[in-house]
């Protein structure tokens, strides 16, 4: 009887311990979404944004025998400066003038303060090869300062060019912490203003011709990416409401695969996508020549799609297998100006199979087939604390899975480490899947 009571007590303690370690939602306002951002004004010289924070997540971690809070916000980034308090931040992109310096300021704000709270420091940006649990917490000089961290509520990143438009990320630090006073300040509402204060700036967009045409795929990206895209079009229709026109496609193929790829080129042209093909030997089978060739067509024809046919040995890739860098053609940023894909074929037969399946998929859709609404997610279980928003690969894939199931998907496989196998992937694909996502390590071998 005594043993039974001890056993029950241990179970109760374990349950209480697990509950104390689970993330707690701190509600600031009754709302289904944690963050709401509203565009108030947008013109050539001024942008106003209103931010409302309706809550946040609070977790706990033990450091040197003391309890520290870990503050999080779903789908938002964090301040990852090693030794400084790790806090969420809100990042949104806006379209800015082609030329000009922008300056951000806070017009109004409201906040709540939480006292007697210790915020855990960040371990910084870690390599994927590093286990975060093996990296000890360190407290930087910020923890000795009687001041708010971060100091500024709003900051701007460097401007960038995304194909047709010049943009800039507005960073709002809705969480500030005073380590000496142990006070967390949480801004529940902030109105931010971004003004053009002069000419010049980073990544000035020098247009050689007016923006008269826009690829529909990029238009959809702009609509989701830029907070002020719709309003900007309404204000300057002659400049930002161009006619939709599908951009051209370039196929760069290993010479031996030319004949196998031609049916795909013919089909794309038949679909209405202007498509050309070139042997890699004509261009030069190295990353520099390939990128220069792509850049030339982009600048003269508005190239939108690039398909490489052949593995890395057949059609060169930039160092580390970085095909997406072929799309970075304007500015000094890492935003793409076009879409890049690859058929990784080593033989004519492999190239032909991929071409045949692509044409069949596009040309002969199976009306009512349930596999269109099924997906597969493949992920490692690494990256916790250092992945996208601090998520491990499998956590990140589960968020993607949730979004798919909330959309039109009825089933999404979870093929994750340590139990996932290549056989499970093959089985899923042979049954039929509408989409496949992979999150994890990759290499050229």
- The tens digit of pLDDT for each residue in 278-320 reads 999 999 999 999 999 999 999 999 999 999 999 999 999 998 7
Q: Kindly tell me the burial class for residue 16, based on how many C-beta atoms sit within 10 Å of its own C-beta (0-12, 13-18, 19 or more).
A: exposed
Cα–Cα nearest to 203, from 104, 105, 324, 101: 101
Lowest-pLDDT range of 68-72, 233-237, 399-403: 233-237
Compare 212 and 92 and report the one with higher pLDDT: 92
DSSP summary character for residue 313? T
What are the domain boundaries of the chain? 21-207
Rounded to whole angstroms, the Cα distance separating 398 from 337 reads 29
Q: Is the pLDDT of residue 398 over 60?
A: yes
Q: What is the pLDDT of residues 332-384, one digit of tens each?
A: 999 999 999 999 999 999 999 999 999 999 999 998 999 999 999 999 988 77
Query: Please, are residues 25 and 32 in contact by the beta-carbon 8 Å criterion?
Result: no
Query: Please, are residues 68 and 54 in contact by the beta-carbon 8 Å criterion?
Result: no
Rounded to whole angstroms, the Cα distance separating 316 from 337 reads 20
Position 1 scores a pLDDT of 39
Contacts of 355 (CB under 8 A, 6+ apart): 260, 261, 263, 264, 343
Position 389 scores a pLDDT of 67
> In angstroms, how far is the first alpha carbon of the chain from the final one?
61
Q: Write the secondary structure of 27-38 as one string of H (helix), E (strand) and C (coil).
A: ECCCCCCCEEEE
Position 2 scores a pLDDT of 35
Coil/strand/helix, residue 89: strand
Position 237 scores a pLDDT of 59
Mean pLDDT of 268-285: 98
Mean pLDDT of 237-254: 84
Rounded to whole angstroms, the Cα distance separating 22 from 389 reads 18
Q: Which residue has the tokens 């809550």?
A: 55
Q: What is the pLDDT of residues 156-189, one digit of tens each?
A: 999 999 999 999 999 999 999 999 999 999 999 9
Position 371 scores a pLDDT of 96
Query: Please, are residues 414 and 374 in contact by the beta-carbon 8 Å criterion?
Result: no
- Asked: is 21-207 a CATH 2.60.40.1180 domain? The reply is no
Position 244 scores a pLDDT of 85
Compare 287 and 14 and report the one with higher pLDDT: 287
Residue 245's CB is within 10 A of a number of other CB atoms, namely 15
Q: What is the pLDDT of residues 193-211, one digit of tens each?
A: 999 999 999 999 998 888 8
Mean pLDDT of the chain: 91
Tokens of 216: 């529909």
Mean pLDDT of 105-110: 98
pTM for this structure? Answer: 0.87
Query: Please, are residues 257 and 315 in contact by the beta-carbon 8 Å criterion?
Result: no
Mean pLDDT of 226-243: 73
Q: Using 50, 70 and 90 to split pLDDT, how confident is the model at 328?
A: very high
Q: Using 50, 70 and 90 to split pLDDT, how confident is the model at 16?
A: very low
Position 7 scores a pLDDT of 35
Q: Using 50, 70 and 90 to split pLDDT, how confident is the model at 47?
A: very high
């Amino acid at each position: 009887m005594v043993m039974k009571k001890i056993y029950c007590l241990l179970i109760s303690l374990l349950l209480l311990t697990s509950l104390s370690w689970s993330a707690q939602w701190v509600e600031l306002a009754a709302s289904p979404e944690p963050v709401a951002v509203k565009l108030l004004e947008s013109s050539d010289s001024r942008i106003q944004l209103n931010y409302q924070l309706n809550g946040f997540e609070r977790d706990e971690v033990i450091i040197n025998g003391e309890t520290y809070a870990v503050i999080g916000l779903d789908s938002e980034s964090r301040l990852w400066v090693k030794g400084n308090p790790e806090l969420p931040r809100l990042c949104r992109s806006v379209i800015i003038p082609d030329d000009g310096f922008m300056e951000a300021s806070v017009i109004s704000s409201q906040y709540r303060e939480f006292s007697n709270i210790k915020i855990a420091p960040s371990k910084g940006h870690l390599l994927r090869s590093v286990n975060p649990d093996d990296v000890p917490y360190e407290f930087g000089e910020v923890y000795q300062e009687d001041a708010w961290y971060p100091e500024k509520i709003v900051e701007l990143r460097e401007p960038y060019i995304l194909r047709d438009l010049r943009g800039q990320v507005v960073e709002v630090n809705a969480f500030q912490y005073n380590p000496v006073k142990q006070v967390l300040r949480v801004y529940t509402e902030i109105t931010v203003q971004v003004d053009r204060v002069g000419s010049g700036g980073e990544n000035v967009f020098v247009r050689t011709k007016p923006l008269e045409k826009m690829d529909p795929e990029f238009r959809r990206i702009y609509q989701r990416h830029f907070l002020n895209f719709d309003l900007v079009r309404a204000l300057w229709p002659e400049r930002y409401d161009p006619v939709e026109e599908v951009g051209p496609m370039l196929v760069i193929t290993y010479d031996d695969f030319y004949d196998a790829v031609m049916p795909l080129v013919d089909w794309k042209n038949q679909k209405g996508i202007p498509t050309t093909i070139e042997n890699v030997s004509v261009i030069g089978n190295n990353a520099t020549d390939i990128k220069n060739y792509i850049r030339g067509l982009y600048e003269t024809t508005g190239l939108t799609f690039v398909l490489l046919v052949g593995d890395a040995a057949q059609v060169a890739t930039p160092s580390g297998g970085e095909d997406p860098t072929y799309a970075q053609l304007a500015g000094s940023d890492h935003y793409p100006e076009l879409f890049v894909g690859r058929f990784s074929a080593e033989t004519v037969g492999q190239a032909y199979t991929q071409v045949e399946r692509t044409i069949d998929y596009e040309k002969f859709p199976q009306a009512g087939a349930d596999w269109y609404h099924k997906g597969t997610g493949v992920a490692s279980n690494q990256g916790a604390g250092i992945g996208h928003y601090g998520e491990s690969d499998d956590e990140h894939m589960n968020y993607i899975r949730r979004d798919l199931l909330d959309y039109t998907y009825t089933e999404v496989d979870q093929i994750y480490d340590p139990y996932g196998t290549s056989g499970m992937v093959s089985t899923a694909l042979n049954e039929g899947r509408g989409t496949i996502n992979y999150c994890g390590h990759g290499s050229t071998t």
